[in-house]
Each structure stands twice: as C-alpha cells, then as structure tokens.
Amino acid sequence: MMRYSTGFKQVLQNFLLIPLLLSPLLTHAEATWGLDALMNTLASTKSGHASFIERKSIAMLDQPVESSGELFYTAPSYLEKRTLKPKKESLVLDKDKLIVEQRGKKRTLSLQSYPEVAAFIDSIRGTLAGDKKALERAYKLTLEGDESNWHLTLLPLENKMKKIVETIDIIGAADQLQSIVIQQADGDSSHMTITPIAASNVLTN
C-alpha cells in the first residue's frame, strides 16, 4: 500500500448543490437543469482569478488553521493556489505536474507516479473544467439544488482513494464556485471560501 509522508499529506490537504414536479411554472432551462447542464456551464469558463480563505480542522490542533491567498485558473489543466498568509507558498498544477514551492524551495512531482493523488487533484480541476467523464472515472457524482444554488458531492469509487478522502462538496451558483469542503478519511477537513477578483464570475475572465 502506498504511504505518504506528513509533509506530502499536507500538500494534498491544500488541494483541493424542490423537486421539479412541485413547480409547474418552470421555464425550459430550469426543467432541463442537471449535471450535464452544470458541466456545460462550467466548461464555458476559460480562465479566471479569485481570492480564497481556507480553514483546516486538524485533529491534533485545538483551533482551525486559517490561510488566505489567490487562485488562478486557465482551462483545461492549469490551476495555481498562491497562499499569502500566514506564510507564502505556491502550488501549481500544470497538466500532469504538481509544482510545490515552500520556504524558498521548489519541488516538481509527476502525478502519474501518484494515481490516488491525481484523482484527488482532478476532482477540483475536473469540476472547474466541467469534465464530467474525468470526474466519473474516480467519483460518484450527486447534484442537488438548482442553477442559482447548486451543491455537487463527490464520493470516491476506489478503495485506495477512500482511505484518503471521504467526501468532497463543491457549492456554487451558475458558473461560480463559492466553496469547497473536503472531509478526509482520517477526520481532518478543510473549508475553502472563494471570492472573484475583478470579475463577475468566480474563476472566470
């Protein structure tokens, strides 16, 4: 079984929606709202810039750990998480590479060598890209709510992945991602709140 160091697990922690019959006055767009419609909406986003605040609850600590910074996204495979507080660090996902910069040192990891890590990371990147097929290879997807207030839940399919992540909940409106909640199998969790910068949509132009 693949084992991860404490430092590497911390990197993973960083990475990372009224039934229709009750409303007879629904428009055609509302009546056809669902997972495919959400993925198509998200896929229309080609790039963006947002700020984030992330609170991590760690079993061994009495209080949540808070960090903040900025997110940059370019479809379909580039995602950067630039933490500014409490200390500067950078995580860059570029195709099949994860570039980690901490304390002035930079490391480059190949996701092909860590398939469980790749599945975890692609849960976020796949959602941003509206890539339903990629998401369904690793997760069972459940969508609740409507276009103006949706809640997408990802449940891992593979046993190896289940040992790392229990659930990933992504909440948003239209093409805006508003929060990402990750519940880890070991009891730790993280809650990231996302706010657009100089744009009308989260992580869009």
In a domain, 203, yes or no: no
In a domain, 13, yes or no: no
Distance of alpha carbon 129 from alpha carbon 134, whole angstroms = 10
pLDDT band per the 50, 70, 90 thresholds, residue 14: low
Share of the chain above pLDDT 90, in %: 52
In a domain, 10, yes or no: no
pLDDT band per the 50, 70, 90 thresholds, residue 5: low
Q: How high is the pLDDT of residue 19?
A: 32
In a domain, 152, yes or no: yes
Domain containing residue 60: CATH number: 2.50.20.10
Taking residue 161's Cβ as centre, other Cβ atoms within 10 Å add up to: 20
Phi/psi at 200 (5° precision): -85, -15
One-letter-per-residue 3-state SS of the chain: CCCCCHHHHHHHHHCCCCCHHHCCCCCHHHHCCCHHHHHHHHHCCCEEEEEEEEEEECCCCCCCEEEEEEEEEECCCEEEEEEEECCCEEEEEECCEEEEEECCEEEEEEHHHCHHHHHHHHHHHHHHHCCHHHHHHHEEEEEEEECCEEEEEEEECCHHHHCCEEEEEEEEECCEEEEEEEEECCCCEEEEEEEECCCCCCCCC
In a domain, 125, yes or no: yes
Q: State mean pLDDT over 67-72.
A: 95
pLDDT band per the 50, 70, 90 thresholds, residue 146: very high
85-124 residue pLDDT tens:
999 999 898 988 999 999 889 999 888 787 767 777 778 8
Range of weakest confidence among 39-48, 110-119, 134-143, 174-183: 110-119
In a domain, 148, yes or no: yes
User: What is the domain range of residue 101?
Assistant: 46-196
Total number of domains constituting the chain: 1
In a domain, 39, yes or no: no
In a domain, 157, yes or no: yes
Q: How high is the pLDDT of residue 145?
A: 95
Considering only residues 28 and 152, tell me which one the structure prediction assigns the higher pLDDT. 152
- Global pTM value: 0.78
| pLDDT > 70? residue 200 | no
Q: State mean pLDDT over 186-197.
A: 93
How much is the mean pLDDT over the chain? 82
